[in-house]
Amino acid sequence: MLESVASFGAPVGKPGVIIAPNHRMESCKYVFQISGIKSRDKKRVLVQGIQKLGGKYIGGSIYQHASTHLIIPQVLSSEKFLAACAAGKWVVTPDYVLDSVKNGLWLPEEPYEVSISIGATSTYCPAKQWREKVVSGRLTGAFQGWRVLLMVQEPARRAMFTRLLKAGRAKVYHIPPPSHASITHVMAKPITENSKSYSAPCFSVSHIVQHLFGSNCADMNFIVTDVNAAETNHGSFVDVDFSELETELRDYVIKHEARKRLCFLEFLGYHDPYRPQSQAAETDFSNVGSMIECGLFTEALDSIRSAVFPGLLPPVSYLISLLEYAQQGNATSVFLRNFQQVMYNLLVTNPPWLAPNTSKKYFTQMLQCPRCKTGLWPFLETAISYCLSSEVTCHPLPGPALPTLIQFHRDIVAFFLRLFQGELHSVTNGDFVLPQGTGVSQASASGSLLYATFWTVWERSSLLSRAVKQLTKLLVQAATEDSAERNEKQNLHLAETLLAILSVLVDFWWQQHFKLNQKLVENGLKDLAEHIAVISQDVSPVVVAELVDMVSSTRLKLVMADAIFRNLCCRNGFTVGNEPLSLKKMVLSYLPALESLAQSPIDAHLRTGPFSHSSTSQETDGRTQSSLVNESSLEKENIPRGLNRVNAAGETLLHRACKRNQVETVLQILALPGTDVNVKDHAGWTPLHEACNHGSTACVEALLRHCPPPVLNSQVGGVSPLHDALHNGHMNIAKMLLEYAGSVLLQQADGEGRTALDLVSTSSQREELLLSAQARDSALRNKVIEVSNPPLLEAGSSLLTHLIFSYQQERGLPGCAQSEDKAHSLGYRLVRALETHSFHKVTLGWMDQRVVRLVEDTQTLLELGRGRYLGQVSQAVRESTGQNTVFLMDVLRDLKSRGEALVADL
């Protein structure tokens, strides 16, 4: 489906989605917005004055087309000011309202137009030139005739620039532009080679300001980059400013993210070897070398053991020789234990994160294969592989695997863990950099052994490096073998150690990059979790759930539990939406998915199905062809021609058939193995969206009967399939969707905060929708299902429990104080704001999605406290006696109790 042209006065979205303008506002001659006035008292006086003289006031931090006047104290870099100039609206100072109130009627606006000084005796009114051109009819807006391809990566800023260009009557297109569009401007942030590849000239978004104000923009001294979030919308007599709440919540989120998560108490006693303390006299290690040459390895090791002190490092060549002897398989268990003790003593007395670069070099040389000498990661990989009885080692080791050597290599892996924990602890506590005045060159985390082990210089911007991928592969292998050996009481718990290493490196990499690039870190964690979910999908879900249970880092546990749960659902025929993780998503999408897992076949975890990565496709001459079906056999098998072709908008044959209500074609496609019922075009629309948008009732019915069923709560620009049907007046389809999914769909709001019930105009229509939803809710409550796969239910319950716990730890909600200061606490004020205003109004114009998600989580908790959502859990799941499922139900009841406490405090 082509993304519709975002022209002035038309909604951005799909053709056929019509949003009625506010005629009440447009009929008024004086409709005001305010920008740049943060004082509530000053704003209250202005709003009262506007209403006293019969005018209207529109709150909110974004520009509204219905406004006729903008009040600002001086020239600002706000969206409202720039859009008002582009649209030719009046831009006046607050005195215009105040003086008009004193006069008892509206005064002429010209003397009050906002201006700036551009010389000793001259002034410049930025909005005047465009207002006069629009009023005279010479232009409809400052950007008349512009057809702009807008290439701005950040969604909120892209929306802002879209509104700004539309205000000046530009036509705005997004990637990919329609084939018929003749682009006049390409505007990008940032400018890339791709943005320069179009035939139209490419500009930075700052070109908007330069066009509006020409040479005067230098005197105005501002750059447009963001929405002015100083005001938010409120429909009551006195405007409520939520910007202060947004700022406090952002500070809370930042502080919560920066808190310490992993604390290793054993490293608190580590001391700096360059501070005064008792040390032994200089030791002569020459006799140790002689012992090694004579094959007296035990005696040589004993000499080194007695001479390990702070600041004193035995020659690394001796330790390398002893390590090589240990790997040959001839050493006694006593020797191997003593060697490990020496290594730990060296780490305690000379920690590399508190020592000079020579100490780091020392450990780097020691912690590598004495024969191959290829670095830290090959040495660690060899130790892990030997514990797993794998032949993939840097060089052949004694085999079959000897129990004493297995324990030795396991101790090496544990030593690496202790080393990495120490570095993370030091970085977290800020003492990785040496104190001043030590006479030692300053160290930094960029020279850490963690980086040297898992990332090359070119890989440091990616969490999923080659070494990290190999570590995850070994981790899954260890988990599988540990599970098998557990029955023989020979569990080595190697997987737990590898998980601890993975947790440390995830938290270390997060700390190095989060402040510089939050999006990079989020994508890195997501890619790692998806990778683990894919490589572990042949492992029993019970084992994978136990693996998540052992993760110590809440960051890693959160993304792993989410990715593995979604992967488990997809492989068992239930698809969840791809919207960001939130508390609302867990109760609305993941709980129903849990019921599907309970009803899966007993061997369901081995099934790949339509969402398997084994389904591949290849590009040939610009056409996408299935690797399993060729064009010559389509007619023979009665498969529709062009099944896998997409048009310029990315629409498949299933999309096009749903638009045209060709139900026979839809049924043919759905009957084919591997059909993705949730396939999206370039704009993100699914076949269900198309069927609902075009009133294809028969196609909607066919899609809902398909197994797995389509995702009903997916949104594109805030438009869900239910919203799509109601926007276009298809009540029969809307009722069909509600009869299938129940009232859960009625909770979903579109991009403007409107639920499905807000989109119908009469009470009788609202009653019809409610009855359809209630009928399904009643059927779900009375539905008797059988738990046919208890192990899969238990695994899913375990993952979901860990997901909820980790989410609360990572994204925790601000609490309400219990004393007389409760009314001033951040949590209480947030709850009060949601009680008196809608979620959409509270967060209108907020730019930080972390803060918006925090408010949504609070709203979900309030809804749980009011008894909503949890009724969707089937009776069979609620009454399951499985330990993990029982615990999950307790967790959900605890969430409900927390919500009830918030409601009671209001």
Give per-residue pLDDT as tens, 380-401: 998 898 888 877 777 777 777 7
Distance between CA atoms of residues 778 and 783, nearest Å:
8
Pairing of strands 56-57, 90-92: unpaired
Distance between CA atoms of residues 802 and 550, nearest Å:
10
Q: Is the dihedral of CA 833, 838, 840, 845 positive or negative?
A: negative
Any idea which of 124-133, 257-266, 490-499 has the lowest mean pLDDT?
257-266
User: Residue 502's pLDDT is what?
Assistant: 93
The total of other beta-carbon atoms located within 10 Å of residue 16's CB is 14
Strand partners, 445: none
Whole-prediction pTM? 0.62
Query: Does residue 786 carry a pLDDT above 80?
Result: no
Inter-residue contact 905 to 815 (CB < 8 Å)? no
Inter-residue contact 630 to 663 (CB < 8 Å)? no
User: Residue 327's pLDDT is what?
Assistant: 84
Q: Is the dihedral of CA 809, 814, 817, 818 positive or negative?
A: negative
Per-residue pLDDT, averaged over 746-765, amounts to: 78
Query: Does residue 123 carry a pLDDT above 80?
Result: no
Confidence of residue 474 (pLDDT cuts 50, 70, 90): very high
The closest alpha carbon to 564, from 579, 547, 552, belongs to: 547
How many CA atoms lie within 13 Å of 661's alpha carbon, on the beta-carbon side?
8
Pairing of strands 123-124, 147-152: unpaired
Please list, in sequence order, all residues whose beta carbon lies within 8 angstroms of the beta carbon of residue 400, skipping any fewer than 6 positions away: 389
Per-residue pLDDT, averaged over 594-613, amounts to: 55
Torsion of CA 320, 326, 327, 333, to 10 degrees: -150
Query: Does residue 607 carry a pLDDT above 60?
Result: no
The closest alpha carbon to 443, from 423, 421, 465, belongs to: 423
Confidence of residue 171 (pLDDT cuts 50, 70, 90): very high
The closest alpha carbon to 564, from 551, 552, 503, 417, belongs to: 551
Inter-residue contact 470 to 528 (CB < 8 Å)? no
Q: Residue 476: is it exposed, middle or buried by C-beta count within 10 angstroms (0-12/13-18/19+)?
A: buried
Inter-residue contact 9 to 165 (CB < 8 Å)? no
Residue 889, classed as helix, strand or coil, is: helix
Confidence of residue 532 (pLDDT cuts 50, 70, 90): very high
Inter-residue contact 806 to 557 (CB < 8 Å)? yes
Please list, in sequence order, all residues whose beta carbon lies within 8 angstroms of the beta carbon of residue 203, skipping any fewer than 6 positions away: 185, 186, 187, 188
* Between 894 and 196, the higher pLDDT residue: 894
User: Residue 823's pLDDT is what?
Assistant: 60
DSSP 719: B
Please list, in sequence order, all residues whose beta carbon lies within 8 angstroms of the beta carbon of residue 154, skipping any fewer than 6 positions away: 189
Query: Quick one: three-class SS letters along 312-362?
Result: ECCCHHHHHHHHHHHHCCCCCHHHHHHHHHHHHHHHHHCCCCCCCHHHHHH
Assigned token pair, 309: 């002190």
The closest alpha carbon to 339, from 325, 358, 360, 349, belongs to: 325
Inter-residue contact 19 to 180 (CB < 8 Å)? no
* Between 273 and 199, the higher pLDDT residue: 199
User: Residue 484's pLDDT is what?
Assistant: 60
Per-residue pLDDT, averaged over 209-238, amounts to: 51
The closest alpha carbon to 544, from 477, 614, 464, 599, belongs to: 477
CATH 3.40.1180.10 fits 609-782, yes or no: no
Distance between CA atoms of residues 238 and 485, nearest Å:
69
DSSP 831: H
Query: Does residue 560 carry a pLDDT above 90?
Result: yes
Q: How many angstroms from the chain centroid is the CA of residue 46?
A: 40
Please list, in sequence order, all residues whose beta carbon lies within 8 angstroms of the beta carbon of residue 345, skipping any fewer than 6 positions away: 305, 308
Asked if the domains at 23-220 and 609-782 fall in one CATH topology, the answer is no
Please list, in sequence order, all residues whose beta carbon lies within 8 angstroms of the beta carbon of residue 234, skipping any fewer than 6 positions away: 59, 240, 837, 841
Give per-residue pLDDT as tens, 491-529: 447 889 999 999 999 988 888 888 778 888 888 899 999
Inter-residue contact 764 to 735 (CB < 8 Å)? no
- The length of the chain is 906
Please list, in sequence order, all residues whose beta carbon lies within 8 angstroms of the beta carbon of residue 186, skipping any fewer than 6 positions away: 148, 149, 151, 195, 196, 198, 200, 201, 202, 203
DSSP characters over 660-696: TT-HHHHHHHHTSTT--TT---TT---HHHHHHHTT-
Q: CA 56, 222, 517 angle in degrees (round to 5)?
A: 100
Quote helix, strand, coil % in the chain, to nearest 5: 55, 5, 40
Query: Does residue 604 carry a pLDDT above 60?
Result: no
Distance between CA atoms of residues 7 and 539, nearest Å:
52
714 backbone dihedrals φ, ψ, rounded to 5°: -75, 145
User: Residue 31's pLDDT is what?
Assistant: 92
Query: Does residue 850 carry a pLDDT above 70?
Result: yes
Give per-residue pLDDT as tens, 104-118: 999 999 989 988 766
If you search the block for the tokens 């160290």, which residue do you land on? 443
Strand partners, 149: 173, 186
Give the start-to-end residue ranges of the domains of the chain.
23-220, 609-782
Give per-residue pLDDT as tens, 285-304: 778 778 888 888 888 888 88
Distance between CA atoms of residues 337 and 314, nearest Å:
18
Q: What is the CA radius of gyration of the chain?
A: 33
Q: Report the mean per-residue pLDDT for the chain.
A: 78
C-alpha distances out from residue 182 to 11, 152, 199, 580, 895, Å: 20, 19, 10, 35, 54
Q: How many angstroms from the chain centroid is the CA of residue 516?
A: 16
Q: Residue 636: is it exposed, middle or buried by C-beta count within 10 angstroms (0-12/13-18/19+)?
A: exposed
If you search the block for the tokens 């990495």, which residue do you land on? 420
Confidence of residue 618 (pLDDT cuts 50, 70, 90): very low
Query: Does residue 737 carry a pLDDT above 50?
Result: yes
Per-residue pLDDT, averaged over 769-785, amounts to: 74
Confidence of residue 5 (pLDDT cuts 50, 70, 90): very low
Please list, in sequence order, all residues whose beta carbon lies within 8 angstroms of the beta carbon of residue 81, skipping any fewer than 6 positions away: 35, 36, 70, 72, 75, 91
Any idea which of 69-83, 85-99, 654-668, 805-819 has the lowest mean pLDDT?
805-819
Assigned token pair, 346: 């060296």
Distance between CA atoms of residues 287 and 676, nearest Å:
72
150 backbone dihedrals φ, ψ, rounded to 5°: -95, 120
Per-residue pLDDT, averaged over 546-567, amounts to: 90
Inter-residue contact 110 to 127 (CB < 8 Å)? no
User: Residue 845's pLDDT is what?
Assistant: 72
Pairing of strands 123-124, 116-117: antiparallel
* Between 397 and 455, the higher pLDDT residue: 455
Query: Quick one: three-class SS letters along 732-760?
Result: HHHHHHHHHHCHHHHHCCCCCCCCHHHHC
Distance between CA atoms of residues 361 and 345, nearest Å:
17
Residue 199, classed as helix, strand or coil, is: coil
Fold of 23-220: Rossmann fold (3.40.50)
Percentage above 70 pLDDT, the chain: 79
Inter-residue contact 845 to 61 (CB < 8 Å)? yes
Q: Is the dihedral of CA 834, 835, 836, 837 positive or negative?
A: positive
Distance between CA atoms of residues 521 and 258, nearest Å:
14
Give per-residue pLDDT as tens, 693-720: 999 999 999 998 887 778 887 788 778 8
Q: Residue 120: is it exposed, middle or buried by C-beta count within 10 angstroms (0-12/13-18/19+)?
A: exposed
Confidence of residue 68 (pLDDT cuts 50, 70, 90): very high
Distance between CA atoms of residues 729 and 765, nearest Å:
11
